[in-house]
Structures are given as C-alpha cells and as structure tokens.
Amino acid sequence: MRTFLVAATGLPTILLTAALVVVVCFWLLAAVGVAGIDSFDTDVDLRAWRMSGVPVTVALSLLTVLGWSLSVGAAVVLAVLAPPGPATGLLRLVVPVGALLVAWVTTCLIVRPLQRLFPDEPALPAEPAPSVLSEAHTGEAAGR
C-alpha cells in the first residue's frame, strides 16, 4: 500500500492525481445536480484530438482516469522491479508521458462506440461528399 501511495503522490504522477481529484469532484457535483454533463461543450472542441461525438467532460474524464491508472501502475511496477538509479529516475519522468499517449489512443477507441449514446454531439465527419457548388465551379456537371 505504501508503494502505491508513493507512486500516486510522486513528482510526475502527482499532476495526474490532481487532475483525477478534479474529475472526481466534477462528477460528484454532476451527480448532485449542481453541474451538467455538457457544461464545457461550448468551450472546447475535441475534433482535433479525435474525441468528438461525446461531451467534453466524458472524453476528458476517460483520458484522465486511464492516464492516471496507467501511470500509477507503471510507477508501481518500476518501484518494485527496477533497481534504484539514474536510469530508473529517468524512466519515472517518461512513464507519465507514455501513459498519457496510451490513454489518449485508448480513449479515442472507447469514444467511438459511445457516440451513439450522445446523438446531439457533433462527431467527426466520415468522408466529405462532393458538393454541388464544386461541380458548378469546375463545369464538370454541365459537361463543359
């Protein structure tokens, strides 16, 4: 238990622990009815991060929980298996970054099936269809 607490409150992982505390507090406020699930949808657009189609709070909560879990899990494994030294110290700094990258990819995969649960959220466009205006400008539609 001590190893887990040290890993969760260690220097690089403490940032993700703080983010997890914010996420838990938000969902407690949402459960009570003080905050809405779509509170931040007008402020942030997640299309560039490939997480659109669900409320921002859902996507970022998933990212935070997965990132924290992977980071703490890897820090515990490092603490138990790796001998103390400069290489281990460097790995402890790199692990949260790798955990966030894996969490981002996993969140993108989880968000796709969840898009059906939130039909009013804008999703990524699949393929742009040819528009009538582009055909009119090029003259292809009239055979010119």
Domain ranges, ordered by start, for the chain: 2-138
Q: Where does residue 114 rank: exposed (0-12), middle (13-18), buried (19+ CB within 10 A)?
A: middle
Q: Give the other-Cβ count within 10 Å of 58's Cβ.
A: 21
Instruction: Tell me the C-alpha distance between 65 and 52, whole Å.
Output: 18
- Name the band, by pLDDT with cuts 50, 70 and 90, for residue 10: confident
pLDDT above 80 for 16: yes
The model's pTM: 0.72
- Name the band, by pLDDT with cuts 50, 70 and 90, for residue 127: low
Q: 5-19, 28-42, 48-62, 112-126 — which is least confidently predicted?
A: 112-126
Instruction: Please list, in sequence order, all residues whose beta carbon lies within 8 angstroms of the beta carbon of residue 2, skipping any fewer than 6 positions away.
Output: none
Q: 13-22, 29-38, 77-86, 107-116 — which is least confidently predicted?
A: 77-86
- Name the band, by pLDDT with cuts 50, 70 and 90, for residue 57: confident
Instruction: Tell me the C-alpha distance between 8 and 91, whole Å.
Output: 15
Confidence (pLDDT) at 116? 78
80 close to 92: Cβ distance less than 8 angstroms: no
Per-residue pLDDT tens for 73-114? 988 888 888 777 777 777 778 888 888 899 999 988 988 888
Mean pLDDT of the chain: 78
Phi, psi angles (nearest 5°) of residue 63: -60, -45
pLDDT above 60 for 139: no
